[in-house]
Structure 1
């Protein structure tokens, strides 16, 4: 379970997030980012180069402070939106998110699923990864080390994630459309022409996207004629990231505009090397990057996110490779470590150019595979844990 989760938590989403953020900020192609960082990761975990790992260990705490400063710069620049943001968080926690701006809305189930999904990924609570690191710490009291580990989910999720959420909400970027390249799994062609300024259309799309009424809309099946990257056919609507896509361009690769006929089956284009771009909502690292430009630092704010994310994610990838190493050593012995490391680096490179939604889906499955057995173990050991804590506190009081 730890080996699988090392890819789902410390590898695939980290690489994908870095590539997405760097592309949004600097315009570098994901394959370039993945290749360069893959080489660096290989040098660290295959070649045993300690300087890069030591460098990130020193820089990450400084970067965390810079990230907080950048986040607060956005929050204070949009201070008038903080109250409504908190109100939206509290109300939407029980009702789901209503349609607003370009956002077609989300149900309570969808919001809960995404929130728990990203929350577990963020703090790794109950996953069982933290004990691998804390077991290497030198301490006289195992219980005291456990107390230290309890602070991590609080700082990470309650403080950092709340601040990041306020940045996104207060800046208003969450319901705005931005130019981006669409992930295949986020795209959906549906029958009929829908518009955001028509309430009836929004309600039908909301019901369909949230699986309230799957008969409200039918996925598009047919062909689309495209000339110089622009579709000239009608009778369909392209949805991307829970919004109606605008100014859509079709190309082969990133440069050659497509001309010809596209076959759409069950709402998805059959042409595999097709790149679709345009204006729509964005999510994940790209959304946070845009949000950081709405503060006192202006466009410079995006560099804080991109560089910070690169350092955070890269150091996380290094740490999880260690977790996987320990698990492989336990399961198959020391000789199995090198093949694991090679596959780990290959996965890191692959994820940089992969579909973001697919990567997060794989991550969610991997987290579950590791978390469930660990939670059962915690339940079985709960009596011993309680006895250890009671003994620890009794000695502390004396």
Structure 2
């Protein structure tokens, strides 16, 4: 284990290029998985089953509540755990860092309007959950009772075979494809997303605790539980989930009570922002309505897992002889997860002002953006421009000796000229002219590319830089201490604190603005301030600083904790750190079971122990620095969610009529009094599962 950690830490530099290429591929895949038409299909599927079921959301809130109370539990029913434990186990996967970190990401990037679309997904998600769990219960294998098997893979395998024995291979292939997506999601969203956020928020408040230490502790705790199988998972979840939800919700209600007078305005802002763009503010970069819709959908689907096909796997272990009954119970998940817990997080972030917070300090006077690319040549004389308008060419009078050993595979270089800023009239900005090098040393020849219209040669055009595109970074490596008001909230600068500045550059269609971030990390703290190592932003045209503010870069769970701190300094440290650990552990435990069932389906049960070892090791991978930003993290979690939705929604659409037929038959029996609830058992027995033993 430690050898793997050492290799990752020491091999990070040679891995960076591989990781970058991998991230590019993931972004391209996500571009398809989360295209607008895909989101419309998901939303339409939820609306379809909402109407088809006659608004099953009502049954989940009424009849479902009685079922989990134990009114219909029977010891003789097939299965391994009672309804309450099944719901708790499923909620332990859904109520996780998505509720703390994911909601903050949605609001920070999509604006307040993202919350509205989360509500929409939460509502229709109740119908999706009811449908997919009912389907899995219809096709589950409850023999043996200790470890029942169910989920979309079994629906596909058995469902196609029931249609026709000739379709059995089709069902097997579809089931296998679903399991592959299940394993991807288990490792990314169910594991690495949780581990990264816990390590991030822990380091924020306890800088002396390395991220890898958090990773080792999480891996040990998760491993200790998942080795015990579904009964141990159900027992742990039955105790952990209610406790962590109550603690977190009480803290949220405390914040909202302080901002009680602001709540009506916040709800108006949420609804208005769902249908109109939100302008850029201080730390907020702005968002279009489409961007709010995208982030609301993504984060809600990631959080409540509706339509993803994961929850049916654990619900299939419920002790019941009525498949629809467990489906109705499952409908409570999106309500609790999204409409209750996610809403509390969103209101805290909005009410506290953390989503659009002021800067924590200002850059020193004279700070600007400079090129980070290495210099590989210097011209003796200034080049000239020939031609007119868009037909200008760069002419170099003297030969340029280029150190080609420092060039990349594309042998690209660039120089800077001043050219008119397309975003702002009457302003010129440094702009790159790219060239390609042939030959070497004194025999180097550079073929220069197009020259921007209106370009002007300046003294800085003498310098030849490595690469095809300039990388711009902040000139000031030292920043002053935090202003008093922000220091009272978040304390002084600490090593490893994240910061960012806002720059104006190329237009971003997603946000509807030309705003971007350049992030940095505090490397050293002195009485005079902090030394920052800035990252860079690639752009052919130089971005411009928007103001001189330096903002705290609170990402994911750390933004939620900062929101609590803005109300009561120090509150976020205990509430969010504790909740993050509990939520993440419960999610990783449940998702390990989901992935395990995928392994069982594919291999017949072989390799389960090896899978559990790998699952725990991936917790360490997420905490050694391979993933550095919330944007990278979101890309991986979005990949896991997206591929599962792509695999499961078609299964629901093909076999969903069977779930609806069973659902309406069950409701007919319920209304006619066929089912007779018994006296509710003791609550402690329900929580511990003793009422069905």
Is the TM-score greater than 0.5? Answer: yes
Deviation at 1:48, TM superposition (A): 7.1
| Partner residue in 1 for 2:478 | 230
- Mapped partners of 2:566, 2:535: distance in 1: 40
- Mapped partners of 1:224, 1:98: distance in 2: 25
Residue deviations 1:367-392 (CA, integer Å, cap 9, x gap): 11111221111111122112101210
- Mapped partners of 1:38, 1:98: distance in 2: 42
Deviation at 1:135, TM superposition (A): 0.5
Instruction: Note if 1:380 corresponds to 2:654.
Output: yes
Instruction: Note if 1:13 corresponds to 2:193.
Output: yes
Deviation at 1:75, TM superposition (A): 0.8
Residue deviations 1:76-123 (CA, integer Å, cap 9, x gap): 111222122111111111113222233221122222222111111110
- Mapped partners of 2:606, 2:539: distance in 1: 47
Contact 2:473 / 2:537 at 8 angstroms: preserved in 1?
no
| Partner residue in 1 for 2:621 | 350
Deviation at 1:349, TM superposition (A): 1.4
Contact 2:358 / 2:551 at 8 angstroms: preserved in 1?
yes
Which segment drifts farther, 316-325 or 44-53?
Answer: 44-53
- Mapped partners of 2:309, 2:535: distance in 1: 46
Residue 606 of structure 2: SS of its match in structure 1? helix
Deviation at 1:393, TM superposition (A): 1.1
Residue deviations 1:138-187 (CA, integer Å, cap 9, x gap): 0121101100100110111111111111111011111115679xxxxxxx
Which segment drifts farther, 375-384 or 34-43?
Answer: 34-43
Instruction: Note if 1:368 corresponds to 2:642.
Output: yes
Deviation at 1:47, TM superposition (A): 7.6
* Bigger relative CO (Cα 8 Å, ≥ 6 apart): 1
- Mapped partners of 1:258, 1:9: distance in 2: 31
Instruction: Note if 1:320 corresponds to 2:501.
Output: no
- Mapped partners of 1:57, 1:139: distance in 2: 18
| Partner residue in 2 for 1:271 | none
- Mapped partners of 1:176, 1:350: distance in 2: 32
Contact 1:289 / 1:305 at 8 angstroms: preserved in 2?
yes
| Partner residue in 1 for 2:250 | 69
Cα distance change on mapping 1:48 and 1:328 into 2, 3 Å: closer
Contact 1:102 / 1:281 at 8 angstroms: preserved in 2?
no
Q: What is the aligned counterpart of 1:305 among 570, 576, 586?
A: 576
Instruction: Note if 1:337 corresponds to 2:337.
Output: no
- Mapped partners of 1:386, 1:265: distance in 2: 51
- Mapped partners of 2:346, 2:590: distance in 1: 26
Instruction: Note if 1:221 corresponds to 2:493.
Output: no
Deviation at 1:52, TM superposition (A): 9.2
Residue 283 of structure 1: SS of its match in structure 2? coil
Residue 10 of structure 1: SS of its match in structure 2? helix
Cα distance change on mapping 1:381 and 1:49 into 2, 3 Å: closer
Deviation at 1:319, TM superposition (A): 0.6
- Mapped partners of 1:281, 1:264: distance in 2: 15
Tell me, which stretches of 5 or more residues in structure 1 are unaligned? 181-188, 192-199, 205-214, 232-236, 269-277
- Mapped partners of 2:593, 2:634: distance in 1: 22
Cα distance change on mapping 1:97 and 1:249 into 2, 3 Å: same
Deviation at 1:286, TM superposition (A): 0.8
Deviation at 1:223, TM superposition (A): 7.2
Count residues with an aligned counterpart: 345
- Mapped partners of 1:390, 1:52: distance in 2: 32
| Partner residue in 2 for 1:195 | none
Q: TM-score, normalised by structure 1?
A: 0.76
| Partner residue in 1 for 2:282 | 101
Which segment drifts farther, 325-334 or 25-34?
Answer: 25-34
Residue 279 of structure 1: SS of its match in structure 2? strand
- Mapped partners of 1:49, 1:139: distance in 2: 16
Structure-to-structure mapping, 1:191-202, within 5 angstroms: none
- Mapped partners of 1:49, 1:374: distance in 2: 23
Deviation at 1:326, TM superposition (A): 1.0
Q: What is the aligned counterpart of 1:4 among 161, 165, 184?
A: 184
Contact 1:101 / 1:175 at 8 angstroms: preserved in 2?
yes
Deviation at 1:54, TM superposition (A): 4.7
- Mapped partners of 1:49, 1:373: distance in 2: 25
Cα distance change on mapping 1:16 and 1:95 into 2, 3 Å: same
Contact 2:282 / 2:359 at 8 angstroms: preserved in 1?
no
Contact 1:230 / 1:249 at 8 angstroms: preserved in 2?
no
| Partner residue in 2 for 1:291 | 563
Cα distance change on mapping 1:245 and 1:263 into 2, 3 Å: closer
Q: What is the aligned counterpart of 2:296 among 105, 115, 137?
A: 115
Cα distance change on mapping 1:152 and 1:86 into 2, 3 Å: same
Contact 1:85 / 1:166 at 8 angstroms: preserved in 2?
yes
Structure-to-structure mapping, 1:102-181, within 5 angstroms: 102-177=283-358
Contact 1:351 / 1:359 at 8 angstroms: preserved in 2?
no
Instruction: Note if 1:392 corresponds to 2:666.
Output: yes
Deviation at 1:366, TM superposition (A): 1.2
Deviation at 1:257, TM superposition (A): 5.8
Deviation at 1:39, TM superposition (A): 2.5
Cα distance change on mapping 1:171 and 1:257 into 2, 3 Å: closer
